[in-house]
């Protein structure tokens, strides 16, 4: 089954404790992205990647890091999480950019205390 898999689905942690949210897709997609969803703000793009070793900032990259060492994986790293990063996070992948629709994972709910 074609899917984007995120782990963990839920995480409660404390300020400053480094964490990684993993994302993996099995569709051989070139493009991958991370979003955060906050009430009243919709989804905002954090980082995106158009190929292995090619990443770029989205609209809200501060406080986040990403890497794309393999085509299928695109982890999101919070090196020193803060409470304002409490949010619902989605990973997505697509065959290409522009008019290609994105396929979303089921989300990761992060709570930073």
Partner 1 sequence: AQSVTQLGSHVSVSEGALVLLRCNYSSSVPPYLFWYVQYPNQGLQLLLKYTTGATLVKGINGFEAEFKKSETSFHLTKPSAHMSDAAEYFCAASWTSGSRLTFGEGTQLTVNP
Q: Is 33 in the site for partner 1 (CB under 8 A)?
A: yes
62 class by beta-carbon count within 10 Å (0-12 exposed, 13-18 middle, 19+ buried): exposed
Strands, E assignment, the chain: 4-7, 10-13, 19-25, 31-38, 42-51, 54-57, 65-66, 76-78, 87-94, 103-104, 108-112
Nearer to partner 1, 1 or 98 (CB): 98
Q: Is 42 in the site for partner 1 (CB under 8 A)?
A: yes
Of 73-102, which residues contact partner 1 (CB under 8 A)?
90, 92, 94, 96-99, 101-102
Q: Which of 45, 73, 86, 111 binds partner 1 (CB under 8 A)?
A: 45
- The binding track of 13-32 with respect to partner 1, each residue x by CB under 8 A or -, is ------------------xx
């Amino acid at each position: 089954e074609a899917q984007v898999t995120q782990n963990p689905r839920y995480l409660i942690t404390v300020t400053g404790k480094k964490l990684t949210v993993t994302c993996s897709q099995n569709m051989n997609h070139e493009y991958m992205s991370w979003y955060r969803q906050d009430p009243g703000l919709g989804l905002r793009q954090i980082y995106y990647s158009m190929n292995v070793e090619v990443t770029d900032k989205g609209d809200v990259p501060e406080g986040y890091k990403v890497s794309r060492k393999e085509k299928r994986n695109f982890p999101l790293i919070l090196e020193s999480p803060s409470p304002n990063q409490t949010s619902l996070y989605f990973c997505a992948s697509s065959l290409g950019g522009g008019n290609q629709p994105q396929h979303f994972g089921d989300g990761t709910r992060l709570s930073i205390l």
